[in-house]
Chain A
Amino acid sequence: AQTVTQSQPEMSVQEAETVTLSCTYDTSESDYYLFWYKQPPSRQMILVIRQEAYKQQNATENRFSVNFQKAAKSFSLKISDSQLGDAAMYFCDLPPLVCVGNMLTFGGGTRLMVKP
C-alpha cells in the first residue's frame, strides 16, 4: 500500500516571503510520480507541480519548486515570493500505478494562509 502524509494542517506566510510545505510518503515502487495540487476556496483543484521519481533534478514552476529526497521519501513544496492568491489548500499526491484496495491517494492537505 502507498501512504502520503502532510504533517502541517495549517501554515501561514507573510506576503513576499517564502514558505515550505512538507510531504512524506511511502511506496514500494521504484518509479513513480508525485504531484502537488492547489485547491483554492472555489474548490477547483489545480496542478501546481509534478516530479518524476527517476529524475534527480527538483522540479520548478515559476515561484514553485520542490525538494525531492527519494531516499528519505520526502517531497516538500517551496513557494517563493508568496502572493495573496497562493492562499489555498495544498495537497500532495502519489497516484498509484495500479489501483489496489482502498487507497487515499492524497495527503490530508495543508491550508496555507498568506498575510498581507
Chain B
Amino acid sequence: DAGVIQSPRHEVTEMGQEVTLRCKPISGHNSLFWYRQTMMRGLELLIYFNNNVPIDDSGMPEDRFSAKMPNASFSTLKIQPSEPRDSAVYFCASSLSRVGNTIYFGEGSWLTVV
C-alpha cells in the first residue's frame, strides 16, 4: 500500500518566493496533519484537518502560512513570502480519526530558504 506521499522531497528557494508543499494522504484516512520539524523547536503540529475541514490551525506560525485540503486525497501547505527562518522539514501525516489510531507520516519535505 502506498503511504503518505509528499512532494517535493527537497526544495531550495530564495527569500520572498512562494513555496507550495503537497501531500497525498493514505487512501481512506480522514485526518491529515502538517508538522514542521526544526532543531530548535523539534516537531510542531501546524494544522490538523478532519474530513477535509481545518479543525485547528493555531499552530500555523503566521499569516504567511496557509493550508488547504480541497478533497480527501490532496492537501497543500503554502508559504508566501518565504523567509530563511522557514527552513525546516515539513511532514504531512494522516490517520483514521479514531482515538489511538497510528499516525502515518510522509517522508517529509526539506525546505531551505536562502
Q: Please tell me if the beta carbons of B100 and A102 are within 8 angstroms of each other in the complex.
A: no
Q: Is B58 an interface residue (CB 8 A)?
A: yes
- Where chain B touches its partner, the secondary structure class is strand
A75-90 vs B: 1/0 string, CB under 8 Å?
A: 0000000000000000
Q: How large is the interface on A (under 10, 10 to 19, 20 to 34, 35 or more residues)?
A: 20 to 34
- Bound together, the chains give a CA A109 to CA B42 distance in angstroms of 7
**Could you tell me which residues of chain B, from 31 to 59, have a CB within 8 Å of some CB in chain A?**
41-45, 48, 55-56, 58-59
Q: Please tell me if the beta carbons of B58 and A102 are within 8 angstroms of each other in the complex.
A: yes
* B32: min CB distance to chain A, Å: 12
Q: Please tell me if the beta carbons of A99 and B48 are within 8 angstroms of each other in the complex.
A: yes
Q: Is A30 an interface residue (CB 8 A)?
A: no
A26-44 vs B: 1/0 string, CB under 8 Å?
A: 0000011101000000111
Q: Please tell me if the beta carbons of B107 and A42 are within 8 angstroms of each other in the complex.
A: yes
Give the total number of A-B pairs whose CB atoms are below 8 A apart.
49
Residues of B near A43 (CB, < 8 A) are 89, 107-108, 110
* A29: min CB distance to chain B, Å: 10
Closest residue of A by beta carbon distance from B46: A102
Residues of B near A97 (CB, < 8 A) are 99
Residues of B near A91 (CB, < 8 A) are 43
Q: Number of B interface residues, CB 8 Å?
A: 21
- Bound together, the chains give a CA A102 to CA B102 distance in angstroms of 20
Q: Please tell me if the beta carbons of A45 and B105 are within 8 angstroms of each other in the complex.
A: yes
* A12: min CB distance to chain B, Å: 19
Which of B's residues lie within 8 Å of A, judged by CB?
A: 41-45, 48, 55-56, 58-59, 89, 91, 93, 99-100, 102-103, 105, 107-108, 110
> Could you list some 20 contacts between A and B, CB below 8 A?
A32-B99, A33-B100, A35-B102, A42-B107, A43-B107, A43-B108, A52-B100, A91-B43, A95-B103, A99-B45, A99-B48, A99-B55, A99-B56, A101-B58, A104-B43, A104-B45, A105-B45, A107-B42, A108-B42, A109-B43
